Amino acid sequence: MESALLYILFSMIDGLSIFIFAFGSFKVRLRNYWREILLTVLVISIGNYYISTHDSLKDYEPLISITILFLSLILYFRISVFSSLRLTLMGFVGQAVIQGFLIMVTSYVTDIRFNEIKNNDFLRPSLQIISAIILISVTLLLRKLKKHFTTLPNDYTYRIKFTKINNVILLTSACVMLMFINIYNFNNVILEIIFWILCLINIFILETKKEKRDEID
């Protein structure tokens, strides 16, 4: 029971950092959604623990988490579909970059492979805490520097404007989803980090272009 509660707790800290980074990047007020955030993070964390106890589902954990978050933003937070996609993308890719670096450094120092780190009851939560601290610190720094996007609409809609930039964002989202599906089968951590960094850079470039063009959603 204690191990289950600890697993859920560390997973919640991980999830909260994703929300803080994603919402902070788009200047979404966390105080307006704190109840929704806590409940969503709790549901995802409990789900992750359940998945971790079933070998047949373990490989799908990232995909299930990202799907639950996306659907929660649409149905529970009442954020538009395309905005929910971009928030999900920003949060998970930001986390993937930081955790990828931490895993690479840990593997180099300890000579432990990614799959072993994932199953290590000391290293896994330690990396979750460290990555959460880094992600939240980056968010606070961006807030202090007033570096955030204002391209999310205030209205709730299922419509997606198929502009050139939005189409590239959708393509990037598809690539990210494919990567999350195969993340545990991909053994080259360096190439994986490069992929996530390129995705994050691509997202920032696209959102910057939308900002300059005054495109909302």
- Mean pLDDT score, 5-11: 91
d(CA 49, CA 13): 14
Would residue 57 count as lying in a domain?
A: yes
d(CA 103, CA 21): 20
Q: Into how many domains does the chain fold?
A: 1
Would residue 170 count as lying in a domain?
A: yes
Residue 89, both tokens: 């993308």
pTM: 0.88
pLDDT of residue 156: 58
- What value does the mean pLDDT of the chain take? 85
d(CA 153, CA 11): 30
Q: Which residues have CB under 8 Å from 198's CB, separation 6+?
A: none
Would residue 152 count as lying in a domain?
A: yes
Would residue 131 count as lying in a domain?
A: yes
Q: Which helix (H) or strand (E) holds 38?
A: helix 34-52
d(CA 183, CA 199): 15
Contact 186, 113 (CB under 8 A): no
User: Considering only 16-30, 116-130, 132-146, 174-188, which range has the smallest mean pLDDT?
Assistant: 174-188
Would residue 143 count as lying in a domain?
A: yes
Would residue 124 count as lying in a domain?
A: yes
pLDDT of residue 194: 84
Would residue 217 count as lying in a domain?
A: no
Long-range residue pairs from 55-60, CB within 8 A, at least 24 positions apart, any chain: 58/184, 59/184, 59/185, 60/181
d(CA 46, CA 136): 22
- Per the structure, the complete domain to which residue 50 belongs is given by 2-212
Better-predicted residue by pLDDT, 2 or 44? 44
d(CA 189, CA 125): 19
